[in-house]
Amino acid sequence: AQTVTQSQPEMSVQEAETVTLSCTYDTSESDYYLFWYKQPPSRQMILVIRQEAYKQQNATENRFSVNFQKAAKSFSLKISDSQLGDAAMYFCAYRGRVARQLTFGSGTQLTVLP
């Protein structure tokens, strides 16, 4: 079974600074997808960024980028120029190529300090 581990329960960053959230996963599959989801307080989870395992290039979405290390099974999220609105719980998630459901990590609570 696949597992996703987020070893940082809480992180904080100063506004306008850069922060990196860590995620590792375990799988025997060679083709899969990885995601970072953001869950603001009392609001629904939204997709921040995704990475297809077959793509060597790291995904980027505006201020959000990932460092995908397939051999190390590592998938970290970098948030540049942090904003107050980035404060939320961030979940790393895995989906196999065939499976439809997501396997989530336990989350990292990000606080942005003004």
Partner 1 sequence: DTGVSQDPRHKITKRGQNVTFRCDPISEHNRLYWYRQTLGQGPEFLTYFQNEAQLEKSRLLSDRFSAERPKGSFSTLEIQRTEQGDSAMYLCASSLGRTLEAFFGQGTRLTVV
Interacting residue with partner 1 among 8, 11, 50, 80 (CB under 8 A): 50
| Amino acid symbol at 4 | V
The least CB distance from residue 9 to partner 1, in Å, is 8
- Could you give the string, one character per residue 68-107, with x where binding to partner 1 holds by CB under 8 A and - elsewhere? -----------------------x-x-x----xxxxxxxx
CB 21 within 8 A of CB 7: no
Q: What value, to the nearest 5°, has the Cα angle with vertex 94 and ends 32 and 96? A: 35
48 binds partner 1 (CB under 8 A): no
Q: What value, to the nearest 5°, has the Cα angle with vertex 53 and ends 70 and 32? A: 110
Q: Which residues pair with 50 in a beta bridge?
A: 35
CB 106 within 8 A of CB 37: no
Cβ-based nearer residue to partner 1, 97 or 114: 97
22 binds partner 1 (CB under 8 A): no
| Contact positions vs partner 1 (CB under 8 A) | 4, 6, 9, 33, 35, 37, 42-47, 50, 91, 93, 95, 100-107
